[in-house]
Amino acid sequence: MSNEQSNRGVVYKGAGKVAVESIAYPELAMGKRKCEHGVILKVLTTNICGSDQHMVRGRTTAEEGLVLGHEITGIILEKGRDVEFVDVGDIVSVPFNIACGRCRNCKTGLTGICLNVNPSRPGAAYGYVDMGGWVGGQSEYVMVPYADFNLLKFPDPDQAKEKIKDLTLLSDIFPTGFHGCVTAGVGPGSTVYVAGAGPVGLAAAVSAQLLGAACVIVGDMIPDRLEQARSFGCETIDLREDGSMEDKIEAITKEREVDCFVDCVGFEAHGCGCGQSHEEAPAAVLNSAMQVTRAGGSIGIPGLYVTEDPGAQDEASKQGALSMRFGLGWAKSHSFHTGQCPVMKYHRGLMQSILFDKVKIADAVNVQMISLDQAPQGYADFDGGAAKKFVIDPHGEFS
């Protein structure tokens, strides 16, 4: 492949702004050395994520010029000399976590906190602030390192294209929602509360159903998103309405607590209902979780919390220091599980669930395909609360 080939990508231009611009065509290189364990992908689909929105809103320390995008599905165009088990022409899902496969964390399945792919902290991702400087995949072409370890090959290329709207979600939000449920202890007969009906929250709700939950309750303040949750059998709570969370849960389950709680909101949470103002309250969901989760229950936290939030309303929150009622969680013997989802722990099994029609994840999160040039409008619509998961089709193959 010629390095002079064209490439375009979605670029962060400062708070509230993204643009589609010409960017460098990827090389099989890491810094100044050849990346023989990597591949170059033609991007088939790449999704806009709520985590991207945190950056685009100016709520992180992301620098202008960052090429966005960590949810990538593509076809291999070129591979390095050391890549043995995937080949040119394979259609693959790319976990948003970049992992070396060699460090102590990777060897135990903790691929979200790989020790070798980010000089500043454990864990890396494509196109994300503080995640190692890797070029993002909201583009026409992208380089993926450690390809044999990272990539999930789809067994049938034609079937993969037919189910691309579902399979594209394996790079992040489906495993992330599933991970939130697993770490919250969801199993057959569980009652589950999912905070947030954005795409990850909806993916978590579907995951809870897949895991056998008896009742899945989704809370949000956006009516269209709540309607989307109801479309596949969830109960819903409109958080704009006053009244205690316990009363609202009791009206659904006849009990005032749930077995499992999944936080799919993160640090841009707002106070809601119960006489609260609707102003930002970054610990609101975490405090609610301790309030309504049964003693001995678990709280899964796939929602993003950051170490630096320049847009926060107080100095403590700007450093990621939140005012949590942690003593309540201690008194109730709660378990908390945080951090990036280790996508590879789940993506093969979830792929099989899609291929054998056990789950309709694209319908649940309401996938809408858009072109690369429509990406800025997709970001704007998503920021406005659209009950959709925007999936970019950079080459117009699925429109």
- Mean pLDDT, rounded, for 115-136: 95
- Confidence at 368, pLDDT banded by 50, 70, 90: very high
Domain locations in the chain as residue ranges = 8-172+342-392, 173-337
Nearest to 126 by CA among 167, 172, 59, 80: 172
Q: Read off the pLDDT of each residue in 274-294 and give the average, rounded to a whole number.
A: 80
Model confidence over 389-399: pLDDT tens digits?
999 999 999 97
Whether the CA torsion 377, 382, 383, 386 is positive or negative: it is positive
d(CA 319, CA 296): 30
> Which residues contact residue 190 at a Cβ distance below 8 angstroms, ignoring those fewer than 6 apart?
208, 211, 212, 213, 214, 215, 259, 260
Instruction: State the average pLDDT over residues 277-306.
Output: 89
Residues 145, 72 contacting (CB under 8 angstroms): no
330-348 pLDDT per residue, tens: 999 999 999 999 999 999 9
- Is the model's pLDDT at 317 over the cut of 80? no
Residue 272: pLDDT band with limits 50, 70, 90 = low
CA diameter of the chain: 64
Q: Are 388 and 381 in contact (CB under 8 A)?
A: yes
SS3 75: strand
Where does the pLDDT of residue 275 fall: very low under 50, low under 70, confident under 90, or very high at 90 and above?
very low
Q: What is the pTM of this model?
A: 0.94
pLDDT greater than 50 at residue 355: yes
pLDDT value of position 34: 96
Number of helices followed by number of strands (H, E) in the chain: 15, 17
pLDDT 10s digits, 179-236: 999 999 999 999 999 999 999 999 999 999 999 999 999 999 999 999 999 999 999 9
381 band by pLDDT with thresholds 50, 70 and 90: very high
CATH class of 173-337: alpha beta
Give 140-161 pLDDT, tens digit per residue.
999 999 999 999 999 999 999 9
How does the average pLDDT of the chain come out, rounded? 94
Q: Is the pLDDT of residue 1 over 80?
A: no
**Is 8-172+342-392 in CATH node 3.40.630.10?**
no
Using CA atoms, how far apart are residues 222 and 347, in angstroms rounded to an integer?
29
CA geometry: angle at 49 spanning 284 and 4, to 5°? Answer: 150
Summarised one tens digit per residue, pLDDT across range 71-105 is: 999 999 999 999 999 999 999 999 999 999 999 99
